[in-house]
Every structure is written in C-alpha cells, then in structure tokens.
Amino acid sequence: MITHPAFDVRPWAIHENSLHLDALARTESIFALSNGHIGVRGNLDEGEPYGIPGTYLNSVHELRPLPYAEAGYGYPESGETIINVTNGKLIRLLVDDEPLDVRYGTLHSHERTLDLRAGTLTRRLEWSSPAGAGVRVCAQRLVSFTQRAIMAIRYEVEPIDAPIRLVVQSELVANESLPGAVGDPRAATMPESPLIAEENATTAEGAVLVHLTKSSELRVGAGMRHEVTGPDALHVETDGAEDVARMTVTARLAPGERLTLVKYVAYGWSARRSRPAVHDQVVGALTAAHTTGWDGLLREQREFLGEFWSGADVEVDGDAEVQQAVRFALFHVLQAGARGECRPIPAKGLTGPGYDGHTFWDSEMFVLPVLTYTSPEAAADALRWRHRTLPIAEERAAQLGRAGAAFPWRTIAGRECSGYWPASTAAFHVNADIAHAVLRYVEATGDREFERDTGLPLLVATARLWRSLGHHDVEGRFRIDGVTGPDEYSALADNNVYTNLLARQNLIGAAEAAVRHPDRARDLDVSTEDIAEWRNAAGAMYIPYDDRLGVHPASEGFTDHAVWDFATTTAADYPLLLHYPYFELYRKQVVKQADLVLAMHVCPDAFSTGQKARNFAYYEPLTVRDSSLSACTQAVLAAEVGQLDLAYDYLGEAALMDLDDLEHNTRDGVHIASLAGTWVALVSGLGGMRVRSGQLSFAPRLPPNLARLRLRLRFLDRRLEVDIQADTATYRLLDGEPLTVVHHGTPLRLGADPVSRPIPPVSAGPRPRQPPGRAPARRGPGD
C-alpha cells in the first residue's frame, strides 16, 4: 500500500493539503476531470512540473502497426492508441519576469480540492519567487457535463505584500513532449507528434487550432476564448505558430488588487467533416459557453450533479475512508460515461493513457451495472456504441469462419487491437458480456424501444456466434471448446463455466427478444428455426461439475491441474504475468481474477446455496488478484456466503485501489472498473442486490464494523432508497409508481410509506484462506 500523506478523508471531496512531487503523476489521475467526451488530467496550471501531460477526446486515436515474429491468419494488423490532443489547460505565470515553478523559490502553501458535488477542481497556493516576490493564486477548473465540448478555468492572482509586475500566458499547445514508456505492458505506447497542423486562427478574442492525425486521419479542433478583469492598465496581445496559440496579459498589481482570467476551451473532432466545419463547431461551442458565463457553468454543473446524486448516493456510517472512496468512485464512473454519447468507456476513462486508452469487457460487466442503476442513459449510450461497431464485429466473425459477430477484446474504434490471440480472439465471452449488459439495461429500465432498435441486433448477432462456435457432442451436450474465460491465467480451455452460462443467457435472451419484436426479427433474417436452435443449444449447455470435490471447475478439467507452487512464490513475484511465462500459468491451478466466482455473481440462480459456499472456499486459496477487477467480485460472494468480515476487507481493497495506489499504476489513469466495483461491493455485496425475473431483490447484511449503509438507485423510472442497519432494513420509494421488491426472499410492496423488515442472522464456516501474502488487508476500528 502506498498512501498519500497529503490526502484528507472528507465525505464529499478529495483534498490534498500539500504538494508531493514524487506523487505528481498519480495525483494527476486522481484529480482528472472528464465528461465522457473530454478528459483532462489534473496537471498543474503552469504546465510544469508534470508526471504525464494529458488531454484526451473520446475515441481520438492514432494507428500503429502490430509486428509479429511469425505471421498468422486472422492476426490484427494494426493497433489503436489514444493520443494527447491539444492542451488547453496551460496558464503560465511570470512574477517580475520569473516563472511560477513550484520547484524554485519558496512554496509557502499548496492545496487542491476535487469537489464531488460541484464537479470542480480548485487549487490554492502561495509562492515567492527566488527574488522574494510573493503571489497568491486561486485556480478553479471544470469539464462541463451540460456543455459537452467545454472545459473552463478561472485563474486569479494577487500580490501577497508588495507591488508586482505580472505576465499571464494562456496557451493552446499541440504535440507536447511526453515521458517515455515505463516498461509495464499495461502502460501506453504513446506516439510522438501525432498531430499535423491545418489551421491556426488567432484573433484578439482567442484562437482556434485545427490538426489532423497522421495515420488515423481524424480532424481535431481546439479553441480558447477569454475574459480578463483587473487594474485599468492591462495590456493584452495574442500570437501563435503551427502548434501554439497564446494570449499574453501584462499588468502591475498593488496589494489588494487582483488579476482574474476566465478561460473557455472548446474541443471538437471528426473523421468526416471538413476543416471549416470543425472550426465552426469549436467557435460555436465557445460562444455558447461565453454566453453562459463562468457562474452559469458552475450553476449548471452543480445542478447536473445534484440530480445524479439524488438517485445514486451511497452513505456509509462507520468507515470514513470507504465513504469518501465510494463517492469518489461514483464521480469518476459518471465522468467516464456521462456524455460519451455513442462512444466507448475506456478502462482508464479519460484520466490517463493506461492500456492505450482501450475499452475491454470491463465496461459491460463492471461499469455499466453502476450506470444502469444510477445514470441509465449513459449505459444506453455505451451500448449504442457497441451497436455502431456491429458491422466491424460481423466482419471479424466472418474472418474467423463464424456466424454473427465477434466483438474485440480491446479496442477504441471497434477493431481488435490485441495481437495476443489466446487472451483476445479466444476470449469470446466479451460477446456474451455485451448481451448481458443489454438484458440488464432493458430489465432495469423497461426500454422496449432500445431493445427493439439496439438490443435485438446485438443479441441476435452474438447468439449466432455462440451457435456457430459451439457444438452438440455425442451425449447431446452443447459444448464451447477452446476459449478463454475472464481469468487470464487460463487460456484455450473447454467449457469455461462463466462463458457457457453467459452464452446460455445470451441465447435465451435473443430468442425471447425476437419473439417480442417479430417485425424487427424479420428484418434481421431471424427465422423460427433460428429461435428453436438457440433455445435447444441453451437447454443443452454443458456446465462442468466436479463430483469428487463437490465444486464447479472454472473450465472442464481445471481441478485436475497441478496447484501453483505458492510456497516458493515471493511477494516480489507478483503480478505473476510479469515474472512467469503464460505457458506455465496456463497449466496450473492459479487464478488471476475471479472467474467461476464472477459466474456465481452474475448468474446467481445457476448455483445452489451449498455450491456457492463450496466454490467460494475452493477458489479463495487459488486467486492471487493480479487484476484490479477481482476484489469487488470476491466481496460480493463473500457477503453472500456469510463471510462478512472478508467481504468488508475486499470492499476496502476495491475502494482504495487508486486512492492508495494499490497496484502501483494509478499514474497511468484511475481504474474505472475497480472504482465501479466499490459500488458493486457495497450494493450487490453488503446490500445483496440482485435482479431476478425483472424484480429487485435484496439480502442485506452488514459486517460488525459498519453501523449503517444507505443506498439510492434508479429502477423502472423510480428512485429507491434502502437503509440498512445491523438488524433492520428499511425500503423507501422516493418517487414513481408503487413497486414490489424482495427482502431475503419475502416480497414487499412499496408505496408512499417506508417498509422495514428484520435482517435474519447468518452462519458461515471458517474464514477461507488466500494464497500466502495475497490476503486483503484487514479493516477494523482504526485500521
């Protein structure tokens, strides 16, 4: 664990009370702002020092070749990498000709606050130059949720105790120099100077730069406009070159006087529109923001977040760290998807370059559940992006000799970007994950129009893939052989339980949706024979079970493998993927991340209560959690089988993944799926939330260290609150028509009045052990 000594624990903010240059890259990710379209890292306003400069537009990427030592049919030919676009955050300050650089002079104080209700990052500092001239700076920035193309900054400077001459330079800069790679395959390979200048239109009011990416040929526009207030004798001028536009303000300030600069920055991009069109888009967005004004943008931001929190907040009584962490997590998950508008949700959101900016199955299985029950339109938009890329997925399936669609393991624009086929091409479960997200969204919203227009084509295409990928064996069982499940330490296995269960759900869901929308099904060439085949395959789906051990193997034969030699594996050997060949991992019983355990979470009715307890106990000693995706799932099942203290420990790990930098790579961006997992661990774990046959079900239980857990969520156009205490749960319908929910198996009808019910006790067996040195950190009073 690497704690940040300057972070305070606050319920509605992340507050840093002093600057630590050795943690700069990490805090740039923590303090990143985004709306799903624009993402800006929390770099210092002056630009230097920095960890990783970063300004991103969702889906703006560059192409790079994927070299292979030996060619193979079906290997992806090129990859996609997110790029750092034009930086509009820069506001440089010179004090009596000396630049404000916190590495020089004297930094008297420095604090930053990410306000989770206001949606702003505020920075305050006092600094004296090497010559002794002192200034006080207050800078506040936001990325607007309501005006999708806009970032805005208010930068205010005043002397501390003596007159000073100030020069403020507000800039747009493209093709910034970036730090080199860190040697971790999870980090990005960032292209140098990916932008070709097409236009620099600099005027007295501001500037617009338009660039074209070299290989992907995406056109990117960035513009800035300013409001400057201060002493009467202000001098303002603008200038620019190919990759730079600059407005310079010069002033003399006496003590008590202030110079205030409001900077509006707009972004736009397109793969098709012309340079003038992109230019005009940026100018239009700037004009709208300028008309709204800084105070108007702040008001809109707070109103947007107020509406979000009214149906999403989670209150935790008894653990201030987890309370802060879950709101931080919800804020970043919202930022990742709120205004993506038919674009993907990358694994790092738009907070850093990690994983090259790719989206994975994490989005559908970890992030979209949170958005579905807190901001459902954002979840729908992410699935509409999958629908947009359906032709590419169908082309990929045909290339692989399969029917339907084969969605990519990792991508930005829809094409497969992984050259390691055992963990990419073979990880077909991503297709069932997308179908699962469709079914979950429709179940939670009742949006039949979405189901007809977006959901059904996705369900049909993925069902066709499963029917062509699997086969009936001599015993009549439907098998899916040679695939990779969620656990990346097992590959090319037969009948992965998670994959087969999700494929079964996919096939049934496609058949049922096709029957509900017969006209649309005809448009998709779905026949009655297709529907019958899908139902037949689902009914015959093979789910392996080890009668000898009384557990489900993750895949057929998994429990026959030798167990990994944990006794000789040291702490320095983790994560295993960086220290051992995959060949060795694939042959052993060792689990990178929850696989069979995840299946028990997302397909709860496929397992008996006893099977869940035995399965969980069996896989705990094998799971090393070399992935940030694992802890939240283990928290959910630990809670379900009654291991409440262990569930609480796993909750803490998921919650503090980035705030405590547990995997030592938050510098490359926050872990959006693990952040989402904080909500999952609380709501699905301790809250016991499941949706069965269209009905919300809860089985809440709290560990001894938590006094209370209060959840808010959205379901079928209603807002619901669940208030959980040690021995009682109270359900309230905050708005909407009456609703029936289930509490520990008992239906409850919710109307105008809250309904309370006792929480039955639970007994659990001995606490399962984990691999040596891989147990989650214990949480308790004072921990």
Catalytic residues: 488
- Burial of residue 274 (CB within 10 Å: 0-12, 13-18, 19+) is exposed
Helix (H, G, I), strand (E, B) or coil at 245: strand
Spacing of C-alpha 754 from chain mean position: 34
Residue 106's region, left for phi above 0, alpha for psi from -120 to 50, else beta, is beta
- Burial of residue 778 (CB within 10 Å: 0-12, 13-18, 19+) is exposed
Helix (H, G, I), strand (E, B) or coil at 451: helix
Give the DSSP per-residue string, 474-528: TTS-EE--SB--S-TTS-SBSS-HHHHHHHHHHHHHHHHHHHH-HHHHHHTT--H
Secondary structure (H, E, C), 688-701? CCEEECCEEEECCC
Is residue 593 within 8 Å of 629, Cβ to Cβ?
yes
Give the DSSP letter of residue 559.
Answer: G
The Cα–Cα gap between 247 and 240 comes to 9
Is residue 639 within 8 Å of 686, Cβ to Cβ?
yes
Q: Which two tokens stand for residue 70?
A: 């030996």
Parallel, antiparallel, or unpaired: how do β-strands 695-698 and 739-743 relate? parallel
Angle between helices 630-640 and 609-619 (to 10 degrees): 140
Residue 249's region, left for phi above 0, alpha for psi from -120 to 50, else beta, is beta
623 phi, psi to nearest 5 deg? -100, 115
- Among residues 718, 715, 723, 713, the alpha carbon closest in space to that of 743 is found at 723
The Cα–Cα gap between 126 and 276 comes to 43
How far are the Cα atoms of 91, 199, 674 from residue 248, in angstroms, in the given order?
Answer: 10, 20, 42
Q: Which two tokens stand for residue 518?
A: 């017969």
Is residue 622 within 8 Å of 549, Cβ to Cβ?
no
**In what helix (H) or strand (E) does residue 609 lie, and over which residues does it extend?**
helix 609-619
The Cα–Cα gap between 562 and 84 comes to 45
Give the DSSP per-residue string, 360-385: -THIIIIIHHHHHHH-HHHHHHHHHH
The Cα–Cα gap between 86 and 55 comes to 7
Helix (H, G, I), strand (E, B) or coil at 530: helix
Helix (H, G, I), strand (E, B) or coil at 311: coil
Is residue 516 within 8 Å of 508, Cβ to Cβ?
no
Radius of gyration of the chain (CA): 27
Can you say whether the dihedral through the CA atoms of 634, 636, 639, 644 is positive or negative? positive
Residues 31-56: b if buried by 16+ CB within 10 A, e if exposed: bbbbbbbbbbbbbbbbbeebbbbbbb
